[in-house]
Chains A and B, each alone.
Chain A
């Protein structure tokens, strides 16, 4: 059932626009970066952080400190990026982020919802910082190390089962990319989660049809993905990943199984210029100063639009 008040969609839409804008700005300043991921996932991250995830509030946005060393016996004070999600609680959700290559859009989302200080993005990919290009578990908003793709769902299913046994009512959410469904481990994880009836596990998939080598359909075969997910024992809804109402319905509906929302998205949404780069959208690099100028103009237009709104 749709929310009677339209207010949340407006707020979520503004966060999504802010994610695209921040990532775009960063890519222009940096000369390259992960822009298509922000274009495809902006609404997914926005609805997660503004609507779906039940997270404890923070007193103030966190300023990322310097890198404090890897986990290990010599580093007992190690802290994960989960601190950006606030204190844990039995009735609160957890968010496990699988495609660590989406770190930049994630950081942008955390800034938009007041969990990461805006200047934190200055540390992106900077030596000695935690705001890493491909985030690890010390990076803002990242709780487990998942840059080797398709490991998060398994990790999250263990966390979810432990929470279920403990009587926690909070859910464990995982965000994935569709390319990760080429990894066998993803299917092992879904089958195992279904077998153990891990019904507090929720997955949102940014099915943008893109991976490092180009179109997913040119790299592997992920046809009938929703059917496959269902056949492995999860419930699955396939929706337009830019339609907030459809996302909301699919992400909040009850399920007695692990539940996967397959969000079909457009990797050029908000920056149609990017379509010229297809099929290689994984990382945006400017071929010439003239091309950079055209992207700058597109960004300026996006910024003006935001001001007018």
Chain B
């Protein structure tokens, strides 16, 4: 695990980019930019606890050549101020980076703080690029990916203690999936924190002789990596998606669109929040309660295979970043603990 990878990385990254400014709404330390503010006080703007104005204010800065990195909780970007997001930032295709913290069940703060439909809404927003970080390497490299986009970018960001699943030498790339495991039976497509759960599930399934091709998605939009279609086409027993998000409109829906548009006729099971809000509790508790953990992914695989595999929670306890025994583990995942 890496402690607060965004803090120092963002400071170092911004050192030679005077056009990069931070705009926040009373969540500076909570969005891990307190030290950034102290390092670059003249590039830090507190907008007060007032998100509608903050988005318009940032759009004005962007029109004049700055690249605002708005840091706040995701819900306050797309729920509280969606019209401003759409009309002041997305429509004019401005270079504003919306860094949204606390995706899905990553907060015990409850329903008001849990962004569970952001990918659906922002995927549906024209001009918007939608990224999601799944580990420390992606938290670090998402900045370059975002900054290369000549338009608005929304980032589902992780904070605090973040696992390193992918080596630093393999940074996030726009619209490129990571292939984490190879297998002929099922396809598993995961994003964000569900990738770690998926890696656990893939190990357990491999031990039962089920071969899974596991893709990690860090770009929700655009969503055109040919690897996706190839993987779906090759998944003869079906596809499982897992997302830290409602299953309506997010990754599972995007995969369903791919399957349908290509006429692949694959069965699909979508792991995620089943069209429900959540509540305030720990990530582990919520993942169990709402079926977002590795066991839920295994159960989804069992549904597609039509048979129980006898896998229980204790079979899934291993840390994928530290486990080099899994026969189906991808090289990048196995190497991670040596970095």
CA distance A163 to B66 in the complex (A): 11
Q: Which residue of B lies closest to A146 (CB)?
A: B87
Within 8 A of B (CB), among A270-309: none
**Chain A residues near B56 (CB-CB < 8 A):** 151-155, 157-158, 185, 189
Interface of A is mostly: helix
**Chain A residues near B91 (CB-CB < 8 A):** 70-71, 145
CA distance A146 to B46 in the complex (A): 24
Within 8 A of B (CB), among A143-174: 144-148, 151-163, 166
CA distance A153 to B66 in the complex (A): 18
- Is the beta-carbon distance between A188 and B53 smaller than 8 angstroms? yes
Q: A71-B92, A72-B126, A154-B88 are in contact. Are A192 and B64 (CB under 8 A)?
A: no
B62 within 8 A of A: yes
- Determine which of B47, B48, B57, B87 lies in contact with A148 in the assembled complex, contact meaning CB atoms within 8 Å: B87
- Determine which of B53, B58, B150 lies in contact with A189 in the assembled complex, contact meaning CB atoms within 8 Å: B53
- Is the beta-carbon distance between A73 and B150 smaller than 8 angstroms? yes
Taking the nearest CB of chain B, how far is it from the CB of A131, in angstroms?
19
Q: Which residue of B lies closest to A150 (CB)?
A: B52
Contact pattern, B 164-186, Cβ under 8 Å of A = 1, otherwise 0? 00000000000000000000000
Q: How many A-B pairs fall under 8 Å by CB?
A: 107
Contact pattern, B 123-146, Cβ under 8 Å of A = 1, otherwise 0? 000110000000000000000000
Interface size on B, residues (CB 8 A): 31
CA distance A78 to B150 in the complex (A): 13
CA distance A249 to B46 in the complex (A): 33
B291 within 8 A of A: no
- Determine which of B50, B60, B151 lies in contact with A159 in the assembled complex, contact meaning CB atoms within 8 Å: B60
- Determine which of A72, A146, A148, A195 lies in contact with B151 in the assembled complex, contact meaning CB atoms within 8 Å: A72
Interface size on A, residues (CB 8 A): 33
- Is the beta-carbon distance between B48 and A184 smaller than 8 angstroms? no
Q: A73-B127, A154-B60 are in contact. Are A162 and B52 (CB under 8 A)?
A: no
CA distance A162 to B64 in the complex (A): 6
CA distance A188 to B46 in the complex (A): 12
B284 within 8 A of A: no
- Is the beta-carbon distance between B84 and A151 smaller than 8 angstroms? yes
- Is the beta-carbon distance between A185 and B84 smaller than 8 angstroms? yes
CA distance A166 to B66 in the complex (A): 11
Q: A71-B91, A73-B93 are in contact. Are A163 and B84 (CB under 8 A)?
A: no
- Is the beta-carbon distance between B84 and A154 smaller than 8 angstroms? yes
- Is the beta-carbon distance between B60 and A160 smaller than 8 angstroms? yes
A196 within 8 A of B: yes
CA distance A156 to B64 in the complex (A): 10
A83 within 8 A of B: no
- Is the beta-carbon distance between B52 and A163 smaller than 8 angstroms? no
**Chain B residues near A137 (CB-CB < 8 A):** 92
B38 within 8 A of A: no
- Is the beta-carbon distance between A192 and B151 smaller than 8 angstroms? no
- Is the beta-carbon distance between A163 and B57 smaller than 8 angstroms? no
Taking the nearest CB of chain B, how far is it from the CB of A79, in angstroms?
12
- Is the beta-carbon distance between A161 and B92 smaller than 8 angstroms? no
B65 within 8 A of A: yes
Taking the nearest CB of chain A, how far is it from the CB of B310, in angstroms?
50
CA distance A78 to B57 in the complex (A): 22
A191 within 8 A of B: yes
**Chain A residues near B61 (CB-CB < 8 A):** 158-159, 161-162
**Chain B residues near A188 (CB-CB < 8 A):** 48, 50, 52-54
Q: A73-B93, A154-B52, A158-B58 are in contact. Are A144 and B150 (CB under 8 A)?
A: no
**Chain A residues near B52 (CB-CB < 8 A):** 154, 184-185, 188
Most buried by B among A71, A146, A155, A159: A155
Most buried by B among A137, A153, A158: A158
- Determine which of A158, A195, A196 lies in contact with B59 in the assembled complex, contact meaning CB atoms within 8 Å: A158
CA distance A71 to B12 in the complex (A): 33
Taking the nearest CB of chain B, how far is it from the CB of A143, in angstroms?
8
B45 within 8 A of A: yes
Q: Which residue of B lies closest to A168 (CB)?
A: B64
Q: List 6 A-B contacts (CB under 8 A).
A: A73-B151, A155-B57, A158-B56, A159-B61, A159-B64, A195-B48
B binding-site residues for A, Cβ under 8 Å: 45-48, 50, 52-66, 83-84, 87-88, 91-93, 126-127, 150-151
Contacts beyond the supplied A145-B92, A161-B57: 17 A-B pairs with Cβ under 8 Å: A72-B93, A73-B93, A73-B150, A78-B93, A137-B92, A147-B87, A148-B83, A152-B56, A154-B56, A155-B56, A155-B88, A158-B63, A162-B60, A162-B64, A188-B50, A188-B54, A192-B50
Interface pairs A-B: 6 shortest CB-CB: A158-B60, A154-B56, A162-B64, A188-B53, A188-B50, A159-B60
